[in-house]
């Protein structure tokens, strides 16, 4: 548990994967620690218990309720995201002093679309991303920048540009760990994101070249720092 833990409540479907990676990247880049139900795979822990534990331990929550349309196979809507949003709001309402200090960001494609399927949250400040990855990053980064109070955290548009480079470099990053893209776990994603940030950062007083060579040069410059890094 950390005061910088952020619970990510979003779809884990393949058509949302880039948004999920974008949120994870923006959270890490803003100086926070992303958490979600995919962070551990313990067959001895009931899934709802795991979700409640992460919610309890996370002072911040990001909730994307945009994927509520019927599933093409079952014909039924996906209610996991609104349900977990309700758990988070319940913890904030009925929990102790620490839980009552929880802060959350609610995302949807349009600001008032929620009124058609979850009108009970009327009065909440919904942030619209329009289904665009760049706008998702902008909303997340802007919200967290106010919470971070760190002058070194860049704006959302700058983070979105960094994320575009990360996505382009991701196949090489995964290959360097002998991983295929379709087998990356959430822990892998966090590790590769942190590694990309270290490798992409220029050494003091030195501007790294753009393109693939930047990754190689930065890796050499940051090798010692990478060995000293440890996950939270």
Tens digits of pLDDT across the chain (232 residues): 689 999 999 988 888 999 999 999 999 999 999 999 999 888 889 999 999 999 999 999 999 998 877 878 888 888 889 999 999 999 999 999 999 999 999 999 887 777 777 777 777 788 899 899 999 999 999 999 988 888 888 899 999 999 999 999 999 999 999 999 999 999 999 999 998 877 765 444 444 333 333 333 333 333 334 333 333 3
Domains recognised in the chain with CATH numbers: 5-228 (3.40.50.10140)
d(CA 56, CA 232): 17
Q: Give the predicted TM-score (pTM) of the model.
A: 0.81
d(CA 219, CA 232): 21
In this structure, the number of other CB atoms found within 10 A of the CB of residue 196 comes to 25
Confidence (pLDDT) at 111: 79
Q: Where are the alpha helices (DSSP H) in 111-185?
A: 133-148, 156-176
In this structure, the number of other CB atoms found within 10 A of the CB of residue 135 comes to 18
Confidence (pLDDT) at 186: 94
d(CA 167, CA 20): 12
Encoded tokens for 132: 């665009």
Q: Is 164 left (phi over 0), alpha (psi -120 to 50) or beta?
A: alpha
Confidence (pLDDT) at 205: 47
Confidence (pLDDT) at 200: 63
Nearest to 60 by CA among 139, 153, 152, 143: 143
Confidence (pLDDT) at 113: 79
């Amino acid at each position: 548990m950390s005061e910088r833990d952020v619970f990510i409540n979003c779809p884990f479907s393949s058509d949302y994967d880039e948004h999920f990676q974008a949120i994870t990247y923006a959270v890490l880049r803003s100086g926070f620690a992303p958490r979600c139900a995919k962070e551990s795979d313990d067959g001895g822990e009931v899934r709802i218990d795991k979700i409640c534990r992460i919610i309890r331990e996370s002072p911040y929550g990001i909730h994307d309720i945009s994927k509520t349309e019927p599933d093409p196979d079952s014909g039924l809507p996906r209610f996991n995201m609104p349900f977990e949003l309700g758990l988070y709001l319940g913890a904030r309402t009925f929990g102790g002093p620490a839980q009552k200090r929880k802060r959350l960001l609610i995302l949807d494609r349009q600001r008032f679309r929620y009124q058609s399927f979850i009108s009970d949250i009327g009065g909440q400040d919904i942030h619209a991303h329009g289904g665009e990855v760049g706008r998702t990053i902008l909303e997340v980064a802007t919200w967290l920048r106010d919470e971070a109070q760190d002058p070194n955290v860049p704006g959302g548009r700058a983070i979105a540009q960094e994320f575009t480079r990360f996505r382009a470099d991701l196949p090489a990053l995964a290959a360097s760990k002998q991983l295929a893209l379709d087998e990356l776990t959430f822990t892998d994603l966090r590790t590769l994101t942190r590694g990309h940030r270290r490798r992409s950062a220029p050494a003091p007083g030195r501007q790294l070249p753009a393109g693939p060579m930047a990754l190689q040069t930065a890796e050499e410059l940051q090798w010692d720092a990478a060995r000293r890094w440890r996950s939270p």
